[in-house]
């Protein structure tokens, strides 16, 4: 038996336990994401839905940065991976479910909280499956809709509805269908492009910088509409990619 495996003699040694430290920098970003997610829940409870939606997008940015910072600085750890996963459950599972529930599903009876629960449960299942599949799947694709992208669709829809002065209670059925649909996409076996092949450290053509500037300009022009459309189209890319492959197999 390996000396590091559970039940080995090394685990019952009388030597004092040596506590390992954690890396501060990447976990600061994870904590920032967790704070933004928690703030979004509080803002949603107060009826400040625009602030709640923006906080979800801030959590997405923080969540993206923590992993990249850890890889760039060589500070990856098992603790950081577990902490990040728990933060994701709060930021992209519970937060969108509770914010959308407070916005438009609180008066929809049992169907309202059931739709919110289905979304939250699907996020937990999506994260658990992702954690168990690390290192065994093609990094080019995600299996199932990533939970940050699903949360962005929900947050974008809430933000857009608030910006257009649409009461969530008037479109409760649409909100419920979006939550359930996103939940199904998260636990599905559909493939989504991961963008992990993009090399942020290497040289890129000058045109790439122009594209980035244009993208930021378009988002700044109308953030609620542009962000919702962007992530909604990404959510649709999985089913569309599946249909495309099915047609190819049918012709072959």
Return the domain boundaries, the chain: 23-251
- Residue 105 has phi, psi (to 5 degrees) of -110, -5
> How many angstroms separate the CA atoms of 144 and 122, rounded?
10
Domain 23-251: CATH superfamily, name plus number? CDP-alcohol phosphotransferase transmembrane (TM) domain (1.20.120.1760)
How distant, in Å, are the alpha carbons of 101, 109, 136, 150, 248 from that of 114? 10, 9, 33, 17, 38
Buried b (16+ CB within 10 A) or exposed e, 15-26: eeeeeeeebeeb
Contact 248, 240 (CB under 8 A): no
Alpha-carbon distance 203 to 122, whole Å?
Answer: 38
Q: Which two tokens stand for residue 124?
A: 């937990």
Q: How far apart are CA 182 and CA 176, in angstroms?
A: 10
- pLDDT of the chain along its 252 residues, tens only? 444 443 433 333 344 444 466 777 889 999 999 999 999 999 999 999 999 999 999 999 999 898 888 877 888 888 888 999 999 999 999 999 999 999 999 988 899 999 999 999 999 999 999 888 876 676 788 999 999 999 999 999 999 999 999 999 999 999 999 999 999 999 999 999 987 766 666 677 777 788 889 989 999 999 999 999 999 999 999 999 999 888 887 776
pTM (2 d.p.): 0.86
Instruction: Give, for 122, the enclosing helix (H) or strand (E).
Output: helix 110-132
DSSP-assigned beta bridge partners for residue 141: 193
Residue 28, both tokens: 């600061």
Among candidate residues 241, 97, 88, the one with its CA nearest the CA of residue 158:
97
Pick from 230, 246, 239: nearest CA to 57? 230
């Amino acid at each position: 038996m390996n000396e590091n495996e559970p039940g080995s003699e090394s685990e019952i040694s009388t030597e004092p336990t040596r506590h390992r430290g954690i890396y501060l920098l990447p976990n600061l970003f994870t904590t920032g994401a967790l704070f933004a997610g928690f703030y979004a829940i509080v803002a949603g409870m107060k009826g400040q839905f625009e602030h709640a939606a923006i906080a979800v997008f801030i959590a997405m940015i923080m969540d993206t940065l923590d992993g990249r910072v850890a890889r760039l600085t060589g500070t990856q750890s098992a603790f950081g991976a577990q902490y990040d996963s728990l933060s994701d459950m709060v930021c992209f599972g519970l937060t969108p479910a509770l914010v959308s529930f407070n916005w438009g599903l609180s008066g929809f009876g049992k169907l309202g909280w059931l739709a919110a629960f289905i979304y939250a449960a699907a996020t937990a299942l999506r994260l658990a499956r992702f954690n168990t599949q690390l290192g065994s799947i093609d990094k080019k694709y995600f299996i199932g809709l990533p939970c940050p992208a699903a949360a962005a669709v929900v947050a974008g829809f809430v933000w857009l509805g608030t910006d257009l002065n649409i009461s969530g209670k008037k479109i409760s059925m649409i909100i419920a269908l979006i939550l359930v649909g996103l939940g199904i996409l998260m636990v599905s076996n559909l493939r989504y492009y991961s963008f992990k092949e993009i090399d942020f450290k290497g040289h890129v053509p000058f045109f790439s910088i122009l594209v980035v500037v244009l993208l930021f300009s378009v988002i700044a022009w109308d953030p609620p509409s542009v962000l919702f459309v962007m992530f909604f189209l990404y959510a649709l890319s999985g089913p569309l990619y599946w249909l495309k492959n099915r047609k190819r197999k049918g012709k072959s």
